[in-house]
Amino acid sequence: MHLQTKKLKTMPRLPLEGKIDLTYRCNNNCRHCWLRIPADSKEKEQELTFEEIKEIVAQARKLGTRRWSISGGEPMLRPDFAEIFDFLTSHAVSYSLNTNGTLITPAIAQLMKRKGSKMVAVYGATREVHDHVTRNPGSYDAMMRGFAYLKEAGAGFTVQLIPMKDNYHQFDRMVELAKSLSKHYRVGAPWLYLSSSGDPAVNEEIKRQRLSPKEVLELDKPSVSYEERMVEESGCGKREPGDKRLFAACIANRRDFHLDPYGQMTFCGFIKDPALLYDLRQGTVADCWDNFIPSLADKVLGTQEYLDSCASCEDRKNCRWCPVYAYLEHRDFSKKVEHLCAVAKENKKYKENWRKNHRRYYQIGGITIQVEADLPITEETFHPKLNPFKVAGPGKDTVHVHHHFALPDLTNKDLGERLYSKTPWSIYKKGDSWIYLGISPTTGEKDLHRVAVFNKDHSRGEIYHKDDTSFKKGGMTSLTLFATDQILVGRLLADRQGCYLHSSAVILEGKGLMFVGHSEAGKSTTTRMMMEHGAEVLCDDRNIVRSNPEGFTVYGTWSHGDVPDISAKTAPLHTIFFLEQSKENQLTRLTDKKAIFKKLIACLIKPFETTDWWEKELDLLEQIAEKVQVYRMEFDKSGAIVDKIKAV
């Protein structure tokens, strides 16, 4: 993106995010701040004026900037903060704001009702600790007053907890305080980077406030699957061996830029090297974005020390090291940060434990389902019938499902277009996301028991449960923890030339035979008869058919009926039998493709149906009707029909 300057100029611009620091001056004078500049310093005179900010925003908007992140220092120290905030947010789709909350007024709180993310920092659970950390007596009371104004205005916000040595002893109380103030809280980076000022005294104090690596990981657990996905989808963090360009990968994957209080623009808020900053008072946002920022990809090269250490370190993928952190730590972009090396080792242990205890793999219909949960997955979590489908790791086609055990807050959330609503599901489509709400038969969406969010092709899903009771009880009969996995797998199969059919299926002499029919058609009875004659059961109630270059393959599932025998094996689909109970035992070859097609439709298992799903499934059923030999099977319970089946 950023590196392809010509492409940027010819392709339609994508939405960008502008990040702006309104001031480095901070009334809290916090122990961990990057830079502490007195309010009456000469730097204040160099800050952008409101008119200059409006001009920069207008330029950025022409590039497609629709979101703004506003921070500092403390942004509300600017006397014209309200006017700047009003201007930025009225010209944006959304915004985020970082503040310590001490300068919030009723008027500012009213402005903050606008849709966006507001994070208010908390440095202690009590007045004594909070004011000790901020070194500003009265800051706790001012912060609490700010929270009160936000609540009175009805402006939602997130409490951001800032952990360090001097408040960690009461961190649990900080969490309780956060919960009492808002439905949402988060933990700020607990490992603390050093000051951009380079002040030795300040940096020594920051180092003293750093938590131990174990404490850091306890507070800032990595999202293992998310990090893996970022590497897989965007190449985030990947570098070619021997590539010394420290910022090339970062610049190539960015869709945002940073603006400091003095009109200096670059690609990252941590960049303080003047050589990597572009003065907007002497140029334009477009020139910086299209030309200057891409040029920085080749400007900063790592030393041989970098190639021998961080670049080739086996723990690099577990490390939060970044060239800008190295610069803040050593004034050298190439050097490693020992504190982050220690955190990386703990991070590696955490990820290994997660993959071992929180992740399992199962394969059904040729699709591998990677199941993860915030709680450990034990041998008792899933029903034993799923064990035959367990596999050691991901396959060529892997779908990801992650279980969480608290419902997200959907208050006033735009879920998009509602496409379906009938107990037990309401289903919405917003952008490329599918949102499934598990609803009550009596109160509907007012009492949710589950929320599931899937991406466009249902290959990734985050599933949120009301609590962890059922999960801890164990014996779950589905990987999604829904009543049946067909809701998910049925949709996945349509994109893979596959479908579920109400059927019994067996393997006889290496060939797959399917006996198709609804309940009471005799599927389980037929299964038992075939078992007595040496057939291997796939499943007696629901099976999967998928098209392949050689023909069709039948797969067993764990959705069995009266016969508990199931198998994860597969076989080439040889013959389909439509079941019809009778006093006679005979097979009649069916050749009317339209009639076969209609019978298959009647036995097709349907998840939530959409037009595209139907189109894909109907096309598949037409192929099956055209290419697979089909019989009507009239039979009684004597077993006499089996010899005729063998003859076929």
DSSP annotation string for 323-340? HHHHHHHHS-TT---HHH
In this structure, are strands 65-71 and 94-99 parallel, antiparallel, or unpaired?
Answer: parallel
Look at residues 203, 131, 204 and name the one whose alpha carbon lies nearest to residue 166: 131
Asked if 472 and 456 touch (Cβ cutoff 8 Å), the reply is no
Query: Quick one: what percent of the chain has pLDDT higher than 70?
Result: 93
Position 12 confidence tier, pLDDT thresholds 50, 70, 90: very low
Look at residues 212, 195, 261 and name the one whose alpha carbon lies nearest to residue 29: 195
Per DSSP (E only), the strands in 101-141 are: 117-122
How far, rounded to the nearest angstrom, does the alpha carbon of residue 594 sit from its chain's CA centroid? 44
Neighbour tally for 48: CB within 10 Å: 23
* pLDDT surpassing 80 at residue 420: yes
Q: What is the pLDDT of residue 237?
A: 53
Phi then psi dihedrals of residue 362, to 5 deg: -135, 150
* pLDDT surpassing 90 at residue 510: yes
The CATH number given to 489-647 is 3.90.228.20
The residues that bridge with 577 in the sheet, in sequence order, are: 515, 631
The CA distance from 312 to 299, in Å, is 21
Query: Quick one: what percent of the chain has pLDDT higher than 90?
Result: 79
Helix axes 50-62, 81-90, angle to 10 degrees: 10
* pLDDT surpassing 90 at residue 118: yes
Q: What is the pLDDT of residue 168?
A: 97
Tokens for 43, please give them: 């730097």
Position 197 confidence tier, pLDDT thresholds 50, 70, 90: confident
Phi-psi region of 412 (alpha: psi -120 to 50; beta: other; left: phi over 0): left
In this structure, are strands 16-21 and 65-71 parallel, antiparallel, or unpaired?
Answer: parallel
Neighbour tally for 17: CB within 10 Å: 21
Contacts of 580 (CB under 8 A, 6+ apart): 517, 521, 632, 633, 634, 635
Q: What is the pLDDT of residue 15?
A: 63
Position 29 confidence tier, pLDDT thresholds 50, 70, 90: very low
Q: What is the pLDDT of residues 281-336, one digit of tens each?
A: 999 999 999 999 999 999 999 999 999 899 889 898 899 899 999 999 999 999 99
The residues that bridge with 465 in the sheet, in sequence order, are: 450
Return the H-helix or E-strand segment holding 134: helix 127-134
In this structure, are strands 158-161 and 256-259 parallel, antiparallel, or unpaired?
Answer: unpaired
Neighbour tally for 172: CB within 10 Å: 10
Q: What is the pLDDT of residue 40?
A: 53
Q: What are the sequence ranges of the domains in the chain?
A: 194-235+313-357, 359-483, 489-647
Tokens for 376, please give them: 């450990």
Q: pTM of the entire structure?
A: 0.83
Pick the more confident residue, 599 or 31: 599
Which parts of 156-303 fold into alpha helices (H)?
165-168, 171-181, 200-209, 213-219, 224-234, 248-252, 285-287, 293-295
SS3 292: helix
- Which residue is it, tokens 């002499």? 509
Q: What is the pLDDT of residue 173?
A: 98
Neighbour tally for 589: CB within 10 Å: 10
* pLDDT surpassing 80 at residue 32: no
CA 261 vs CA 44, 62, 98: distances in Å: 9, 21, 15
Q: What is the pLDDT of residue 7?
A: 27
Asked if 565 and 531 touch (Cβ cutoff 8 Å), the reply is yes
How confident is the model over 101-108, as a mean pLDDT? 97
Look at residues 559, 542, 553, 503 and name the one whose alpha carbon lies nearest to residue 386: 559
Mean pLDDT of the chain: 91
SS3 89: helix
Chain length of the chain:
648
* pLDDT surpassing 90 at residue 5: no
* pLDDT surpassing 90 at residue 586: yes
Lowest mean pLDDT among 9-13, 55-59, 313-317: 9-13
Position 272 confidence tier, pLDDT thresholds 50, 70, 90: confident
Q: What is the pLDDT of residues 519-574, one digit of tens each?
A: 899 999 999 999 999 999 999 999 999 999 999 999 999 999 999 999 999 999 99
User: CA angle, corner 403, sides to 398 and 407, nearest 5?
Assistant: 140
Position 167 confidence tier, pLDDT thresholds 50, 70, 90: very high
* pLDDT surpassing 70 at residue 14: no
SS3 203: helix
Neighbour tally for 15: CB within 10 Å: 11
Asked if 258 and 72 touch (Cβ cutoff 8 Å), the reply is no
Position 34 confidence tier, pLDDT thresholds 50, 70, 90: very low
In this structure, are strands 498-508 and 542-548 parallel, antiparallel, or unpaired?
Answer: antiparallel
CA 137 vs CA 132, 426, 609: distances in Å: 8, 51, 61
Return the H-helix or E-strand segment holding 352: helix 338-357
Neighbour tally for 382: CB within 10 Å: 24
253-266 as b/e, with b when 16 or more CB fall inside 10 Å?
A: bbeebbbbbebbbb
